[in-house]
Amino acid sequence: MSERIVLAYSGGLDTSVAIGWIAEATGAEVIAVAVDVGQGGEDLEVIRQRALDCGAVEAYVADARDEFAEEYCMPALKANALYHDKYPLVSALSRPVIVKHIVKAARQFGASTMAHGCTGKGNDQVRFEVGIVSMAPDLKCIAPVRDLALTRDKAIDYAERNALPIATTKKNPFSIDQNVWGRAVETGFLEDIWNAPTKDIYDYTDDPAFPPVPDEVVIEFAKGVPVKIDGQAVTPLQAIEEMNRRAGAQGIGRIDIVEDRLVGIKSREIYEAPGAIALIEAHKEMENVTIERELARYKRRVSHEWTELVYDGMWNAPLKSALDAFIEETQEHVNGEIRMVMHGGKAVVTGRRSDTGLYDFNLATYDEGDTFDQSAARGFIEIYGLAAKQAAARESRLG
């Protein structure tokens, strides 16, 4: 049997052309692997048939929407993961689940190599290849765009010359990646960082300058995971989809950022993540009610490290696994309801309640029924400030 290569297949121009391009350059048979992580667009069966029509000997397709939401998006929500405090890891989260299915397909069809459509300048080449070696170190990796000089112009010419069943156009200047957690847009005129994004860039969100009436939503959490919206039980996927719809209608989750890529380049990115941003805002406030002060402080440090590891493609790293265990422990009592008003690009928490919360009305109130012993404060302040007092006395003594 000929050598076989599994290709991460999107169904678009570049990866469709890559099927024949790889076969001609390597002499290997190509198996296309398409994974649905909620990116929308075409049916998986249509994508499967296109891959076969473009020369793939086999096509592996997987509906991984629930898997992606439960096993990848929910851990990110529990971590309140925002790279640069803004970006909710839209693309970074999808790569590990795609890699998981690439490895599964490689084993199923006896492939020795995987291929992806990334360039040599981006983060995704690292995420794919490090993901592969961490799950299947015996598999080799190739990247047609990077390693075989497959440019977009060459891809269009190849598709037209071979009459491939794929639309070819040089008009769309943007590179777009999307899934249920959000949407990423880059390149084209956005590469001039002085240029403002135009309205046609956005798809998941409506213009926040012209919002509909305010939308009040109640989100119920159980151990850090949304389980009900307005009293209606939801799966993680349904929670994200519902919040995408409602928060997107209010223009929530638009992000325009110059971020630090893993490869050392600063890159201008436009993101849309209405559901992710609204859910993270609600989850953070649920944690404020339910997590003890010092644990909350330390969790913020752990979440920062977790976010950077995932952004850098280290989903399967031992440190990431250890941080997973810590974050999961912090979510034990993150239960209750958050009421939020969404309007004009903002999601504002207006109410909280929890049976496992640490907020005590009688301790917090300044009115009748106050149970806080204020006489204890004087001694606490004396001890708390003692070290600073001693240092100040030394400075005074030394002039």
Determine the Cα angle at 339 with ends 336 and 345, to 5°: 135
- In the annotation, is 43 catalytic? no
- In the annotation, is 94 catalytic? no
Catalytic annotation, pick one of 36, 124, 206, 312: 124
Strand order in the sheet with 29-36: 58-63, 29-36, 4-8, 113-115, 140-142
Distances, alpha carbon 81 to alpha carbons 105, 231, 318, 322, 367, in Å:
30, 26, 18, 16, 38
Q: Which residues contact 398 (CB under 8 A, 6 or more apart)?
A: none
Among 71, 127, 94, 109, smallest CA distance to 312 is for: 127
Block residue for tokens 């903002």: 346
Question: 228 pairs with which residues across the strands?
Answer: 220, 233
Q: Binding site for L-citrulline: which residues?
A: 87, 123, 127, 175, 259, 271
Q: Binding site for L-aspartate: which residues?
A: 119, 123-124
Catalytic annotation, pick one of 14, 36, 206, 312: 14
Tokens of 194: 């002085």
Q: Binding site: which residues?
A: 8-16, 87, 117, 119, 123-124, 127, 175, 259, 271
- In the annotation, is 95 catalytic? yes
Q: Where on the phi/psi map is residue 387: left (φ > 0), alpha (ψ -120 to 50), or beta?
A: alpha
Catalytic annotation, pick one of 53, 146, 175, 215: 175
- In the annotation, is 206 catalytic? no
Q: Binding site for ATP: which residues?
A: 8-16, 117
Among 223, 234, 244, smallest CA distance to 88 is for: 244
Catalytic annotation, pick one of 4, 48, 65, 95: 95
Element (DSSP H or E) covering residue 365 = none
Output the 3-class SS for 164-228.
CCCCCCCCCCCEEEEECCEEEEECHHHHCCCCCCCHHHCCCCCCCCCCCCCEEEEEEEECCEEEE
Strand order in the sheet with 175-179: 175-179, 182-186, 266-272, 254-260
- C-alpha span between 211 and 213 (Å, rounded): 7
Residues with catalytic function: 14, 95, 124, 175
